[in-house]
Amino acid sequence: MALTEDTPIRVGLLGAGTVGSQTARLLVEQKDELAQRIGRPIELSGVACLDPDEVDFPWIDKSLLTSDTMSVVRGADIVVELIGGTGVARTFVLAALEQGSSVVTANKALLAKYGAELYKAAADHDADIYFEAAVGGAIPIVRPLRESLVGDQVESMLGIVNGTTNYILDEMTTKGLDFDVVLREAQAKGYAEADPTGDIEGHDAANKAAIMATLAYHTNVTIDDVTVEGITHIEAADIAAATAEGKVIKLLAVVDRNDSGVSARVYPALIRQEHPLASVHESFNAIFLKAKYADDLMFYGRGAGGAPTASAVVGDIVTVARHIAAHTTGPQISTYNDLPIAPLSSEKASFAVRFMIHDKPGVLYKVAKVFADHGVSINGINQDLERSKTDPGYDGELQQLRLTTHETDEETLRATLADVFELDCVAGGPSILRVID
């Protein structure tokens, strides 16, 4: 069949869940206006789901529903992958690209693991792959990295890219609640999954950090290259100490480049209350980017949710459809730099450390000596009596010792703390937080 300006561009939707159903809604309800923006008609050609009988949205024609996912892929000019995971999703995305169909996806886990393979398949078959919704939901960060800033040099990025963890830390800070209490509340409100492991252990943010690093530094960075630390060890005492110092704790995706290569990390950190990221509350996301010439940039908005994420997905669909109408494709993902992944030892930071010590003379001297022996300089010390806590074999009271260091690398710090906890006057495991200036 000869293609004309009146031939519809067919969109096959894989997944009819929270985001998929809202994506379908925007496509159907804005069909005429989107056609004007694209220059060609656009139509939903099929919707793949596990059980078509359970999908009941008035804007989705029942005849479009099927459990035969590959048939939807084969019948589409643009395949929208919203089923998640890295198994069958990879199969369907590769099949779409290899037949020359373009792909729009929100699947950060897929891109963080198999991005290089998918980008190559898109380039080899003259197809687009767009994924704005994979990082930060409705926040436009992928396109600026991919297009707007390609004439600049990204120096670093700090991102709050997981709404669940930001909500938990924000509630702990503003209401003085314990971690477990806030987590249950987040689950009840739908901000956290029944199994929140991927969020609270930092894995979701790590996938996004890998994608951001790949785009910013034109180097293939996978999920296996990202070091990850979650927030499950954060206690009310950490929040209180941060507040007393005029700081807040945020789970950050930190991406930068140093002389040793590219670094992509996820960890909870102390930031000043004056920092732009400190004012990001509830489940909102934000990314603070520093570029060599553009200087400081801030991207802020809803990081999740059906409608906000669907907005980003449909934005990509329109972009790809415009390319199809113009018989072209967008810029491919470039990884020409092939930079190494920087080791932990190449990064230095100040740290805030909290642990329990026996309340008796000479303890501070012993602790300080271990730090000095490892070449770690202590910047400040604070002690609070903890009357309710005990240590087996010790009859006295315990104190909570909080200290901050001057800049050191994490490997040295952890080796120092390992020796500190060999002391018989130290109890319990440490809480370690980086300090972001």
Asked about 208 being catalytic, the answer comes back as yes
248-281 pLDDT, tens digit per residue, is: 999 999 999 999 999 999 999 999 999 999 999 9
Measured in whole angstroms, how far is the alpha carbon of residue 57 from the centre of its chain? 30
pLDDT of residue 264: 97
Identified catalytic residue from 113, 208, 247, 250? 208
Phi and psi at 226, nearest 5°, equal: -95, 125
From the list 157, 122, 142, 163, the residue with the least C-alpha distance to 329 is: 122
Q: Is 349 annotated as a binding residue?
A: no
From the list 270, 260, 315, 384, the residue with the least C-alpha distance to 137 is: 315
Q: Is 260 annotated as a binding residue?
A: no
Delimit the domains of the chain by residue range. 9-138+306-325, 146-302, 347-436
Residues 53 and 60 sit within 8 Å (Cβ to Cβ) = no
Third-level CATH fold of 347-436: Alpha-Beta Plaits (3.30.70)
Q: Is 193 annotated as a binding residue?
A: yes
Q: Is 389 annotated as a binding residue?
A: no
pLDDT of residue 367: 96
Rounded to 5°, the CA angle 147-149-150 comes to: 65
Q: Is 14 annotated as a binding residue?
A: yes
Burial code (b: 16+ CB inside 10 Å, e: under 16) for 398-412 equals: bbbbbbbbeebbbeb
Rounded Cα distance between 97 and 78, Å, is 9
Residues 210 and 204 sit within 8 Å (Cβ to Cβ) = no
Q: Is 194 annotated as a binding residue?
A: no
Question: Between the CA of residue 368 and those of 69, 378, 403, what are the distances in Å?
Answer: 62, 8, 10
Task: Name the class of domain 9-138+306-325.
Answer: alpha beta
Residue 12 identity: G
pLDDT of residue 305: 84
Q: Is 101 annotated as a binding residue?
A: no
Which parts of the chain register pLDDT below 50? Answer: 1-2
Domain 146-302 homologous superfamily, CATH: Dihydrodipicolinate Reductase; domain 2 (3.30.360.10)
Q: Is 15 annotated as a binding residue?
A: yes
Rounded Cα distance between 280 and 282, Å, is 7
419-437 pLDDT, tens digit per residue, is: 999 999 998 778 899 999 7
pLDDT of residue 91: 98
Does the global pTM surpass 0.75? yes
pLDDT of residue 1: 41
pLDDT of residue 2: 44
